[in-house]
Amino acid sequence: MNYLLAMQNYDVIVLGAGINGCGIAENLAGLGKRVLLVDKGGVGQGTSSKSSRLIHGGLRYLETGKIHLVHESLRDRQRLVQKYPNLVAYKRFFLPIYKSSPRPAWMIRMGLMMYDVLSGSRSAGKSRTEDVKLFKISFPAFSETDLRSVLSFVDAKTHDRELTRRVADDFQELGGTVIVHCDIDSITWDDKGFEIRSKSGAFSAPILVNATGPWLDEVNQKYTLPARYRIRKVSGIHLIFEGLVVPELMFMQTRQKRIFFIIPEPENNQTLIGTTEREEDCGMDDLQAQESDIQYLLDQVNAYLKPDHQFQRKDVRDIYIGVRPLVRKKGDLSDMSREYKLDHHRKGESQLLHVFGGKLTTYLSLAEKVARVLGVRS
């Protein structure tokens, strides 16, 4: 390896060009810092291109009392709709309630009222009860047997990879540097700062932010970086079907009280159905969608469809899998907190900060918090 290339000095180096790394880099560059953003692959090629593509408060988190998370997400949702009107748009979600639905209509109405209140004036529209007759006409594939009522509410939809790339572009417009396909050989640090050696060059900075999402533990282990938490890797798949299965986005409940989304994407003439939850113990690069998860999603959606509209395995045009980088904590997978933790370490003038967790939706708040923890002001 030829390390004779001159060391390039920065104020901050950010590892990982997912939504969180890009958001952190953009915010720090906006505060006047010289920032380098490096990724072992391309911008947004990790979890930030494998999500449900929703910018949402997370209606279901109300059930577990995560009011703070919902409130922060709804505030960020409004900021993103304003910041990127071509990439983040409000959409109405339909929620049909059947006799067999695990939560009664009154309970969901109460949740939606609370969601409206938390959205405040920021909401682009309130929840409401839809006309069942109209629903039957507009959603002809849906079973009409035992349909009790249809509710709807507003959240937002994006395209995750495009949003991440846009944030990376904005970062570069602020003078930031992005290096992709960067294979890091070593990271060393002392009380003056960090040195990174890679095939793309040698870089130094007094601050290193590790925003490698679900790869975080692997990165810490490989480069022997200290950390107070660990990542719990919980994968989720989405099935892609040709054409528009439904005219509007749908928030669906399974009999086991889990939820899944049906997301039409007219711009691509396709529909996404997701997602699942599975704890993974394999390496990030060995991840694969399981047939049982594919069948689970087909069963869940078919339970709501008329016999002549049922999906078969051969109808699935494509499948993608992503891993939620959740903070390691005991408990049920679906109850696991989506809140993020910032793990800050100091050695003399050096600062190391790991980003554990974080949703697409909350990257703005997360990036601002990172700047505060690092003591960076404009």
By CB under 6 A, what part of segment 42-81 binds ligand FAD? Answer: 45-48, 50-54, 56
Six token digits for residue 222: 């490989």
Six token digits for residue 241: 């079907």
Burial-class residue 224 by CB neighbours within 10 Å (0-12, 13-18, 19+). Answer: exposed
**Which residues are 13's β-sheet partners?**
36, 208
What is the chain's Cα-based Rg? 22
Give the interface size with ligand FAD as a residue count (CB under 6 A): 38
The interface mask with ligand FAD, positions 125-164, x = CB under 6 A, is: ----------------------------------------
Q: Are 301 and 139 in contact (CB under 8 A)?
A: no
The interface mask with ligand FAD, positions 294-333, x = CB under 6 A, is: ----------------------------xxxx--------
Where residue 94 falls (left for φ over 0; alpha for ψ -120 to 50; beta otherwise) is beta
Segment contacting ligand FAD by CB under 6 A, of 86-94, 134-142, 212-220, 249-257: 212-220
In the complex with ligand FAD, the residue whose CB is nearer, 50 or 66, is 50
Q: Which of 62, 8, 54 is nearest to 35 (CA)?
A: 8
Secondary structure element (H or E) that encloses residue 184, with its range = strand 184-190
Segment contacting ligand FAD by CB under 6 A, of 40-48, 79-87, 117-125, 131-139: 40-48
Q: Which of 71, 50, 15, 62 is nearest to 324 (CA)?
A: 50
The reply on whether position 370 binds ligand FAD by CB under 6 A is: no
The interface mask with ligand FAD, positions 262-301, x = CB under 6 A, is: -------------x--------------------------
Segment contacting ligand FAD by CB under 6 A, of 14-22, 64-72, 86-94, 141-149: 14-22
The reply on whether position 212 binds ligand FAD by CB under 6 A is: yes
Residue 332 main-chain phi, psi, to 5 deg: -65, 140
**CA-CA distance, 372 to 70, in Å (whole number)?**
21
The interface mask with ligand FAD, positions 181-200, x = CB under 6 A, is: ---x----------------
The reply on whether position 41 binds ligand FAD by CB under 6 A is: yes
**CA-CA distance, 27 to 22, in Å (whole number)?**
9
In one letter, which amino acid is 115? Y
The reply on whether position 220 binds ligand FAD by CB under 6 A is: no
According to CB under 6 A, which one of 12, 14, 21, 155 is a site residue for ligand FAD? 21
Six token digits for residue 158: 């994006």
Residues at the site binding ligand FAD, with contacts judged by CB under 6 A: 15-21, 38-41, 45-48, 50-54, 56, 184, 211-215, 219, 236, 275, 322-325, 358-361
